[in-house]
Amino acid sequence: MRLLGIETSCDDTAAAVVVDGRTALSNVLASQDEFHREYGGIVPEIASRKHAETLNFVIRHALAAAGCSLRDLDGIAVTCGPGLPGSLVVGVAAAQALAWSLDLPVYAVNHLHGHLFANYLAPAGAEPVQPPQAPFVCLVVSGGHTDLIHVEAPDRHRVIGRTVDDAAGEAFDKVARLLGLGFPGGPAIDRLARQGNPHAFDFPRGLAGDGSFNFSFSGLKTAVRYFLDAHPEARVDRAADVAASFQAAVVDALCEKTIGAARRLGLRGIALAGGVAANAALRRELRDRAASYGIAVHMPALAYCTDNAAMIAAAAYYRGDRARVRPDDLRVDPNFAW
């Protein structure tokens, strides 16, 4: 089954062709970082304008890179939410037009399901990945979300924890800005932290040991700000130590809660997902710490961590009839919940 995936929920315009939810024949991303850098982030009306300008080109490119035409498709998968209404509507309108004109089935996909199913993807020509075996715990961690999900079966998900304030990726961006690093902040902190001492400063781990599976990163962000206000020189001569110590606090909180949830629920597997899943320290720490409890950690290849359309096609394949809608009924759902 060959699905075209379309994703326009936030700042990236993306399209991909995926076979049977596992093999990405193509995965095209018109990264809009250059459009956004001068804005220091995502500016929705600008994002939706860029989506409209680039989506046709991105879809054509995804088909060409997959070596197929519109006639070879078995269906269209599109992100319907959560996200910005003005951005989502561009992808949904394109999917609707394609489904009507080609008489193809269309699948309404939750962006967060997409991140989860990124764990099932491999590029064409590579070994297929061994997907996590349900039940397992999935940590979805990005600029807009930090959710801990109990995946009871591939298509049965229960939210067991989430951030009570800021998302982890947002904390990365805000601290990057405090340190005068660029946008996006995650990769900038990740790089700088490699030259720093993660034990240099003791920043707080939000909600540590509170017995819940929730996260909090607002206090950590504020603590870094207070520290830099009190020690302005640290911005210059200790920036790498601040970045490393901040990152250690985030990674520590994410690992503690995620592994704690897996242990309490008696699960042997953890899956990582979302843009922050590309963070090198998080990947290493989660894998090492979980291994000491005999828990296996699955993580998507880097190309499938950040927002992409291959994961949307994969989610549509595995959700099947539960995601399938009549093209006329396709709607954006900005508050689409798990």
Partner 1 sequence: MDSAQVLHLTLDGPEATRALGAQLAAAAEPGDAICLVGPLGAGKTTLVDGCARAMGAAPARSPTFVLAHRYDGGRLRIWHLDLYRLDDPAQVADLDLAQYFERSAVTLVEWADRAPHELPADALRIVLEVAPPGRRATIQASGPASQALLERLAAPHRRSEAAGMTTA
185 vs 197: CA distance, rounded Å:
19
Contact 318, 155 (CB under 8 A): yes
Interaction with partner 1 in 175-204: which residues (CB under 8 A)? 178
Residue 249, H or E segment: helix 239-265
Q: What's the min distance (Å) between Cβ of 159 and partner 1? A: 12
Query: Quick one: which H or E segment has residue 296?
Result: strand 296-298
CB of 81 to partner 1, least distance (A): 11
The region of 66-74, 159-167, 239-247, 318-326 touching partner 1 under the rule CB under 8 A is 159-167
Which among 42-50, 110-118, 235-243, 277-285 is the span making contact with partner 1, rule CB under 8 A? 42-50
**Residue 65 CB, nearest distance to partner 1 (Å)?**
29
DSSP letter for 212, please: S
* C-beta of residue 91 within 8 angstroms of C-beta of residue 11: no
Instruction: CB nearer to partner 1: give 284 or 331.
Output: 331
Q: Does 173 bind partner 1 (CB under 8 A)?
A: yes
8 A C-beta contact, residue 138 and residue 286: no
Binding letters toward partner 1, positions 251-290, x by CB under 8 A: ----------------------------------------
User: How far apart (Å, rounded) are the C-alpha atoms in residues 90 and 49?
Assistant: 9
- Give min distance, CB of 225 to partner 1, in A: 5
**Strands across the sheet with 296-298, in order?**
156-162, 146-153, 136-141, 269-273, 296-298
Piece of 36-44, 120-128, 244-252, 299-307 that binds partner 1 (CB under 8 A) = 36-44
Q: Rule CB under 8 A: is residue 123 a binding residue for partner 1?
A: no
Q: Which of 1, 37, 39, 130 binds partner 1 (CB under 8 A)?
A: 39
Which of 128, 130, 222, 231 forms a contact with partner 1 (CB under 8 A)? 222
Task: Render 72-91 in DSSP notation, one character per residue.
Answer: G-SEEEEEEESS-HHHHHHH
